[in-house]
Structure 1
């Protein structure tokens, strides 16, 4: 993608708050509001912005537990990533799924109502033969 410094500034601002207006973007990056909106439309069209989501308040959803789970996989089948993307993509607890380097192959970001719900989730979904094990980190506080 051919992105310049203005595009990168707009993307950074949109990651913080996707509801920014053209005027707010213009004030922050030093372009006109119309130019910022044209750039934003282009960034969406070329796929630099894949999707825009709503981050819901705990007051609405109730207090939730966020978990970061690493999954090392048993080697073997080349189609496993696609299979896991399809499998985990259907589960409402899974907010993100990453293919990573290092000691694990996949990283899941989960949201559960309580630790008991996570224990049930892990028992149901991490016992697949392709999964060599799992390690869980519980998010204590969201800083950004």
Structure 2
């Protein structure tokens, strides 16, 4: 399967945007190795813009480089997970209050919700709120 052609923005920025989307949609899971060759084939570009895109995502904290092992999708530490959950709770309450809803409408917190869902999947809590 080949992706739609890239245009206008710098190629590496467009690639970073698309790979970021794959991470947010959990098509690339936390801790998973990034297959540079597969990205080159999938997007039909050379290795250079793919590597530049991966560096952009590394600088954003979405990817982690491991010496002589390559790039991996970043994972959250238990502390970062708890921060993400707290931030999600605060944002939901804020957006709900601003919108006049008890809970915010679907899609109103897409980025925060994705982060929260990612954190939930990586560090599920028991009913008493403790990570097993």
The interval holding the TM-score normalised by the smaller chain is 0.3 to 0.5
Give 1 or 2 for the bigger CA radius of gyration: 1
Highest RCO, 1 vs 2 (Cα 8 Å, sep ≥ 6): 1
Using the size of structure 2 for normalisation, the TM-score is 0.41
Q: Which has the higher strand share?
A: 1
